[in-house]
Amino acid sequence: MKLQTKKRLKKNVYKGDTMPPPPPELAEMLAKYHGQPDALITVLEEIQRHYGYLPRHHLEYTARELSFPLSQVFGVATFYNLFQLKPPGRHQIRVCTGTACHVGHSKVILTHLKEKLGINEDETTPDKLFTLQTVACVGACSLAPVMVVNEHTHGRMTTDKSWQAIQPLHDENDVTEVES
Ligand code: FES
Q: Is 141 in the pocket of ligand 1 (CB under 6 A)?
A: yes
pTM of the predicted model as reported, rounded to 2 decimal places: 0.68
pLDDT of residue 3: 46
Distance CA 177, CA 169 (A): 12
Strands (E), the chain: 91-96, 123-124, 130-135, 147-149, 152-154
What is the C-alpha R_g of the chain? 20
Residue nearest to atom 1 of ligand 1 (CA): 98
- Give 140-155 pLDDT, tens digit per residue: 999 999 999 998 999 9
Interval 22-53: pLDDT, tens: 889 999 999 998 878 788 999 999 999 999 89
Pocket test residue of 94, 109, 146 for ligand 1, highest count of atoms within 8 A of CB? 146
Fold of 91-179: Glutaredoxin (3.40.30)
Q: Compute the distance between CA of residue 162 and CA of residue 111 in angstroms, rounded to an integer.
A: 11
Cα 14 to chain centroid, rounded: 28
Phi and psi based region of residue 114 (left: phi greater than 0; alpha: psi -120 to 50; beta: remaining): alpha
